[in-house]
């Protein structure tokens, strides 16, 4: 550790000490180790927001993650159940770098979703479609889903949410991650011939024919997580051949041709559980963001880890939460002039909250 790093950590710790329980620092699993070490809570995006919302003492939140996560935290923390406006006592949700976005979330804008609805409505009854948006989406996209009787899902509960949707309508529009949608639908038993891909860049029907849309049960948005596209079928097969006893699990944001070769696919929390539950001496191949896999490797020296890609798949946006940026934002907060605040407008937040509430009640 360099002298400069030590100074930054001390600077951050000093602010944490002055604020005590009034400050909550959240860090997603994919953040760098030194950031996770300083956080009050580390975890997945929804779980972190729920922890922040459950605190009765928090007066400020620093979310080390990406933009949609901070939006979700603002929605859950600053809008009380039944309220039609922001809470009188607003808790600022800050980010180390407000430019840390999510490429997947950016692939499904509210405007594109509305265009999709308009085009679909020319050939099918949209009231017989349940839109589901992955938590990895903007507040505006969540609001669109809510305003069309839809719901949010996570990678952990996608199965349950898809079952809920099919109990209500015969069709599902799943956005923005095509792979989570496809993997979930196939696992549920949906005929692959009844799964179509909607490309928002295509001028008409997402590149589909009217008949394909009418026959479809699941309409998948053409979006993905770039990080989870970097794993190799050839490497998975090679691991199987050379290490037949290896435990191979990947995130369901991976393509279906990868998932079907593995022992299972699960949320980040599930992947951590798989590693922790594996007996000493196990060989594990875990397909998700590289920094998390490396952290698991360090925490489990009695187990062997194999990488499923040709090179590390690091989320550059998660890496934007750095010690210098955290120190700078906390200093501004300590001075009474918080910077990098994420604030969702009332109309969008209330609608998005409704979609999140539906998910939590299923």
Parallel/antiparallel/unpaired status of strands 283-287 and 247-250: parallel
Predicted local confidence at residue 110, as pLDDT: 97
Distances in Å between the Cα of 342 and the Cα atoms of 58, 67, 74, 145, 267 are 16, 8, 7, 21, 26
Predicted local confidence at residue 55, as pLDDT: 83
Q: What class has domain 3-100+319-345?
A: alpha beta
> Whole-angstrom Cα distance, residue 182 to residue 253?
9
Per-residue pLDDT reduced to its tens digit, 251-305: 999 999 999 999 999 999 999 999 999 999 999 999 999 999 999 999 999 999 9
Predicted local confidence at residue 236, as pLDDT: 97
Predicted local confidence at residue 52, as pLDDT: 85
Predicted local confidence at residue 137, as pLDDT: 98
> Whole-angstrom Cα distance, residue 24 to residue 330?
11
> Whole-angstrom Cα distance, residue 104 to residue 90?
29
Predicted local confidence at residue 67, as pLDDT: 98
Tokens describing residue 16: 């944490």
DSSP 171-229: EEEEES-HHHHHHHHHHHT--GGGEEEE-TTSSSGGG--HHHHHH-SEEEES---GGGG
Parallel/antiparallel/unpaired status of strands 195-198 and 218-221: parallel
Q: What class has domain 231-305?
A: alpha beta
Whole-prediction pTM: 0.95
Per-residue pLDDT reduced to its tens digit, 296-329: 999 999 999 999 988 888 999 999 999 999 999 9
**What is the enclosing helix (H) or strand (E) of 264?**
strand 264-265
Mean pLDDT by 10 residues, the chain (362 residues): 88 96 96 96 91 89 97 93 80 97 97 98 98 98 98 97 98 98 97 97 97 98 96 96 97 98 97 97 97 96 95 93 97 96 96 95 92
Domain boundaries along the sequence of the chain: 3-100+319-345, 104-225, 231-305
> Whole-angstrom Cα distance, residue 359 to residue 354?
9
Estimate the crossing angle of helix 268-277 against helix 290-299, to 10 degrees: 20
Q: What class has domain 104-225?
A: alpha beta
Provide the β-strand partners of residue 93: 61
Predicted local confidence at residue 207, as pLDDT: 98
Predicted local confidence at residue 83, as pLDDT: 73
Residues 274, 163, 145, 44, Cα dihedral to 10°: -10
Predicted local confidence at residue 85, as pLDDT: 83
The yes-or-no answer to whether 104-225 and 231-305 have a common fold is: yes
């Amino acid at each position: 550790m360099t002298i400069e790093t030590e100074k930054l950590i001390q600077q951050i710790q000093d602010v944490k000490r002055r604020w005590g329980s009034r400050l909550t620092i959240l860090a997603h699993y994919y953040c760098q180790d030194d950031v996770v070490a300083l956080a009050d809570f580390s975890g997945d995006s929804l779980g972190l927001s729920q922890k922040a919302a459950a605190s009765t003492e928090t007066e400020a939140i620093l979310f080390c993650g990406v933009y949609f996560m901070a939006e979700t935290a603002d929605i859950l923390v600053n809008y009380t159940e039944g309220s039609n406006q922001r809470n009188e006592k607003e808790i600022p949700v800050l980010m180390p770098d407000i430019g840390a976005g999510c490429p997947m979330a950016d692939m499904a804008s509210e405007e594109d979703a509305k265009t999709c609805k308009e085009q679909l409505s020319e050939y099918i009854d949209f009231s017989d479609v349940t839109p589901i948006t992955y938590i990895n989406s903007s507040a505006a996209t969540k609001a669109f889903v809510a305003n069309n009787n839809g719901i949010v899902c996570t990678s952990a509960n996608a199965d349950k949410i898809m079952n809920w949707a099919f109990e209500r309508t015969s069709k599902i529009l799943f956005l923005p991650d095509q792979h989570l949608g496809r993997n979930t639908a196939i696992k549920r038993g949906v005929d692959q011939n009844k799964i179509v891909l909607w490309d928002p860049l295509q001028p008409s029907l997402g590149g589909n024919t009217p008949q394909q849309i009418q026959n479809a049960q699941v309409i998948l948005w053409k979006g993905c997580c770039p990080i989870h596209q970097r794993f190799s079928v050839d490497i998975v097969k090679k691991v199987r051949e050379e290490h037949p006893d290896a435990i191979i699990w990947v995130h369901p944001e991976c393509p279906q041709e990868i998932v079907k070769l593995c022992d299972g696919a699960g949320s980040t929390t599930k992947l951590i559980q798989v590693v922790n539950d594996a007996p000493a001496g196990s060989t594990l191949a875990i397909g998700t963001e590289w920094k998390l896999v490396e952290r698991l490797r360090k925490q489990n020296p009695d187990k062997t880890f194999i990488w499923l890609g040709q090179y590390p798949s690091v989320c550059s946006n998660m890496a934007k939460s750095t010690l210098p940026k955290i120190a700078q934002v906390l200093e501004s907060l300590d001075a009474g002039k918080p910077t990098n605040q994420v604030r969702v407008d009332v109309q969008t937040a209330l609608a998005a909250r409704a979609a999140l509430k539906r998910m939590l009640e299923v």
